[in-house]
Chains A and B, each alone.
Chain A
Amino acid sequence: MSDTELLPARKPLDQDWLKLLNYSFTLAFVSIFVSLTNMPVRFDTRMIIEPVFSMGYLSLFWLPVLLGFLVTRETVLEGIASHKKGFREVFAGAFVGVVGGGGLSLLVYLLDNFNVRDPLVNWSPQLRDLLSFQRSNVFGFVIWPVIGLILGSLGGSVHVVSTRFRRIVTWALLAVIGFAVFETVLLDLSEGFAWLGAEWLTDELYFIRGGLTMHGAVILAVLGGLFAAFGHGSTRRVKENFTALESTQRTRANIVILLLSAAALVVLPLFLGGITNELLANVGLFVLLALGLNIVVGLAGILDLGYVAFFAIGGYSAALITTTNRADSWPSWVPALTKAQVAETWWIPSVYWLVALIAVVLFAALAGLFIGAPVIRMRGDYLAIVTLGFGEIIRLMFQSDWLGGYTGAAQGVTNIPGFQIFNVATIKGTDPRAVFYLVLFFCVIAIYVSWRLERSRLGRAWMAIREDESVAEAMGIDTVKAKLMAFVVGAVLASFSGAILAAKVGSVFPTSFEILVSIVILVVVIVGGMGNIVGVIVGALVLIGILGGPTQPGLLAEFSEYKLLIYGVLLIVMMLKRPEGLVPNVRRTRELHQDEYLQDAWLKGEIDTDSDDEETALTATASPPNMGTQPA
């Protein structure tokens, strides 16, 4: 590594000015855009620290810090000496902050002097007031470059301070913002643990109408900083000890961790209120869906954009089977006897939920085969569009008057009685805790199935297909069968989720199954990490839990208008910067960064440049021009 010999710090004015201007204009543009989406005004009601700091201002403040940091960030190349960081970096950040902050000054001026409310719906006096901190325009005009100066130089100085200090500040901020975000859950928890005196704690931390109290924020920041300063070493030590364990011991430790988290998941909901349980149930539904899509996209590499079709089929088949009051709309070939005795007959699924479930699974598997078979030999991108087409076709069918006699057309199916489990309990939406347990049960099944499949012959076949289909076929893998299996398994997992949704909401509508749902699930899988079970669960927890699903609210209810926008941005950013996701799968990462791995190998001299083999050619084309500086 080159960190031993650093060149002396450069002069503050020795800058790449074009880059600085570029970043400044990006900052100005993005902050104007964020303001015009009305995010600051909408989030202003959500307090982080009462009464001084709201999420509205946070939505503008993080931008100068980030861009001020990024403007002088350099990738350290192997074998190239880099400069010491110093005042130059701070100056660059400050410059970006000031010029970029000018964007908002301009906006304040424009807001005050022009009215273009006609196309831009958020062009409002409230926005002007917010941007000028409820004071005069001149104040608003002057303050934003100043704020930019402070925040931008903060971002720039991140390069200068020691890693330890950086970590402490990061943790302190994370603690404050994290506790503000999780307010609902924590309040809910403290009510559940009221007998432990937990309520006293949250009363101290939180203001009555939301937001942290001032002293609460200070305490949290100090605690976060202390944890980072002293706790970090010990967590790392625990991690190192864990990886150093022998495989049998590690398996045992893994099982213990698994059992503990399972116990926590079983016990915790008992202490949680309705809102949190509902939230967890929603997250669980998406974990199920995402695990299913993970098998199709993550393992087998098939981009199925019509995945919502299976969700819809699960939901509708469960709804239609368990809803007895639609019996008179059944086709004429169903015996009249059944129609009349539908409520009392023992095998009718509305009484016996396992039968309903088996039927749902059968329908979904058939649908998987039916949709999978025609698309399986298509090229990857054609397949994506055609599956999307199937997704739309299925929704249109459910919505059409043609099948409306059975599916209720646009009115959907209502009055679904919920799952009846052996006359013991009925699971329906009024009892979110029971729904959560049901979801948890299916999630455990899905996780187990994914985990086992990943290590099975079939799973390896999927991964081979993902890497190179022709090679996989040449190695004797029946690609058609393997891909069909991926479709079927994915479809069955999605149908579980659909069936639970039907029981939970008590009704299904065609509008709940739009293509948008497919895309949200795709975002969850990609942000979490394609092909990684833990990643997918983390993705669902973070995205669906905090921002919310396509129709379900998340922890930050204020975000509901913007969550799809944020999902779009996330999808782009992840694909550009980190296609392997937050919690990457090792093998997938290698596939996605093949060039870089080859480069590293080449730099280390593992690949011989003078030989004529295939790999060398690949490396030669993969290496960018600046790699001419490799060690001789």
Chain B
Amino acid sequence: MPPPVHVKSQTVRRRTGVDIFLLIMKVAMSGFVILGFLMFIGQQIDPNNFIASRINPDATGLTAAQFEGLIISGLSQGAMYGLIALGYSMVYGVLGFINFAHGEVFMVGAMTGMITSNKFDDAGLWESNFLLSLAIVLLIAIICSTLTAVTMERVAYRRLRGSPRLIPLITSIGVSFFLQNVSIALLGPRAKTYPALPDWLSKKRELLGFISIDGPRLLVLIVATVAMLALWFLIEKTRTGKAMRAVAEDKEIASLMGINVNRTIVTTFAVGGAMAGVAGILWGLLFRSVTAVTGFLPGIKAFSAAVVGGIGNMGGAMAGGVTLGGAESVAPLVLLEPWGINGVSQLKDAVAFLVLIFVLLVKPTGLFGERLSSEDRA
């Protein structure tokens, strides 16, 4: 007689080598971050303390002003990531695939902004009536990037609904590659510059008595907040927004309730495109230089931001953007520098990707939980 086999009613996943490896990796990453931070605090107290003098001999510590600068630049960068991330998040929420080409929609916005603002600069309007011309530039960029996003959906993605999951993703990689190279072919490969901002805008400002912030960064924060509020209003308070939420929840039921699913999906792309267009202009105003590949890395990072905040979640996308932007700007100096790594600013992009990997390992649903349509909750 064989001994009776004890069957657990609960399913327990066998702990494999991979699990152990992942555990070690998580512990190592957390340890690296925590130790780095502790050493950073140590450096702040005394740059020549006995750990710092061994590991990072040329430690100087950060001044309050430097720290503030890092946080503000992280915030403004993060606000742009957040705006782009909204497009990823909404499309992922509704269609369940990563629209890889969304970064290129952002690039289209930045490029149109470059062309129109330079035309305004030639005409002298940029200098004399900045706010009006900025409004027009924003409008044109929003129209162009919205058109790009909608065309993309119409030409490429609509026919792929219901095909295996990776097919639309690969298509969107193709679209992204195509748009980048269209920009190179039509506008040339060289980096192009935005006209200089008027003096009254570009000077430093004091806010609340103790924060000093560059004018353009303040502008970025203001415009991003306004755009975010407008989007919130659209999604939570209007019928269109209600339809979008319904389609994101369940396409079939939504169509049974009399919602035009196709039109709602197009609206989703359009709104995401508009946000990316705004982000494109802000990027141009802040960094004043655009190339055909401007959209690629910010696009991927914005997707990471969407995942970090919990994909499908609007507030999460913005919060994720700010988190990622902040981490990217602060972490190299605060967490890596104390380890004696030189040239940390080169590792900025690597930090962004590491944040993505870390979040996906520790909490795959993101900081604020994901909101996905029923068929994607696998």
Contacts and interface: CB of A to CB of B under 8 A. Distances in A.
B178 A389 contact: no
Contacts of A376: 18
A381 interface: yes
Contacts of B169: 303, 380-381, 384
B57 interface: no
Contacts of A571: 170-171, 173-174, 177-178
Contacts of B346: 396, 399-402
A24 to B, nearest CB: 17
B185 A562 contact: yes
A118 B116 CA distance: 11
Interface residues of A, number: 56
A373 B166 contact: no
Interface in B149-181: 156, 159-160, 163-171, 173-181
A378 B364 contact: yes
Contacts of A592: 163-164, 167
A120 B179 CA distance: 15
Interface string B327-340: 00000000000000
Q: How large is the interface on B (under 10, 10 to 19, 20 to 34, 35 or more residues)?
A: 35 or more
Contacts of A389: 300, 304, 353-354, 356-357
Contacts of A118: 115, 118-119
B343 A400 contact: yes
B363 to A, nearest CB: 13
B341 interface: yes
Contact of B167 (A305, A396, A399, A579): A579
A118 B120 CA distance: 13
A110 B263 CA distance: 36
Contacts of B378: 379
B356 A576 contact: no
Nearest to A34: B185
B165 A575 contact: no
Given A303-B169, A396-B346, A572-B178, A591 B360 contact: no
B312 to A, nearest CB: 13
A572 B174 contact: yes
B123 to A, nearest CB: 13
A374 B175 contact: no
Interface in A5-47: 36-38
A422 B86 CA distance: 59
A598 to B, nearest CB: 13
B353 A392 contact: yes
A352 B173 CA distance: 42
B115 A119 contact: yes
A177 interface: no
Nearest to A566: B181
A47 to B, nearest CB: 23
User: In the complex, which of the residues B18, B187, B304, B347 has the most CB atoms of chain A within 10 Å of its own CB atom?
Assistant: B18
A404 interface: yes
Contact of A121 (B18, B159, B186, B341): B186
Given A119-B187, A575-B167, A384 B182 contact: no
A389 B347 CA distance: 12
Q: Is chain B's binding surface mostly helix, strand, loop or mixed?
A: helix
Contacts of A404: 343
Contacts of A480: 16, 18
B307 A572 contact: no
A591 B165 CA distance: 12
A591 B164 contact: yes
A396 B347 contact: yes
User: In the complex, which of the residues A382, A389, A561 has the most CB atoms of chain B within 10 Å of its own CB atom?
Assistant: A389
B41 interface: no
A380 B357 CA distance: 14
B347 A402 contact: yes
A526 B174 CA distance: 11
B59 to A, nearest CB: 16
B342 A401 contact: yes
A181 interface: no
Given A373-B21, A390-B353, A392-B349, A303 B177 contact: no
Nearest to A388: B300
B350 interface: yes
B347 A576 contact: no
A232 to B, nearest CB: 34
B177 A386 contact: no
A397 B342 CA distance: 12
Interface string B278-310: 000000000000000000100010011001000
A575 B118 CA distance: 38
Contacts of B18: 373, 376, 480, 484
A567 interface: yes
A565 B187 CA distance: 13
A220 to B, nearest CB: 32
B174 A385 contact: no
Contact of B360 (A386, A388, A393, A515): A386
A568 interface: yes
Contacts of A381: 97-98, 165-166, 169
Interface string B352-376: 0110110011001000000000000
Contact of A564 (B164, B173, B177, B354): B177
A571 B186 CA distance: 20
Contacts of A281: none
A22 to B, nearest CB: 12
A123 to B, nearest CB: 10
Nearest to A575: B171
Nearest to B25: A374
Contacts of B182: 37, 565
B222 interface: no
User: In the complex, which of the residues B115, B160, B307, B353 has the most CB atoms of chain A within 10 Å of its own CB atom?
Assistant: B353
A397 B180 CA distance: 25
Contacts of A526: 170
B188 interface: yes
B22 interface: yes
A258 B22 CA distance: 45
A380 B167 CA distance: 11
Nearest to B336: A402
Interface in A522-556: 522-523, 526
Contact of A380 (B165, B179, B296): B165
Given A381-B98, A388-B300, A572-B171, A393 B353 contact: yes
Interface in A282-321: 301, 303, 305
Interface of A: 36-38, 118-122, 301, 303, 305, 373-374, 376, 378-382, 384-386, 388-390, 392-393, 396-397, 399-402, 404, 480, 484, 515, 519, 522-523, 526, 561-562, 564-565, 567-572, 575-576, 579, 591-592
29 contacts: A37-B186, A120-B186, A303-B166, A305-B173, A374-B22, A378-B360, A378-B364, A379-B378, A384-B166, A386-B353, A389-B304, A393-B350, A396-B347, A396-B349, A400-B347, A401-B343, A402-B344, A480-B18, A562-B181, A564-B177, A565-B185, A568-B177, A568-B180, A569-B178, A571-B170, A572-B171, A576-B156, A592-B163, A592-B167
Q: What are the 4 A-B residue pairs with the smallest beta carbon separation, nearest first?
A: A571-B174, A568-B178, A401-B343, A389-B353
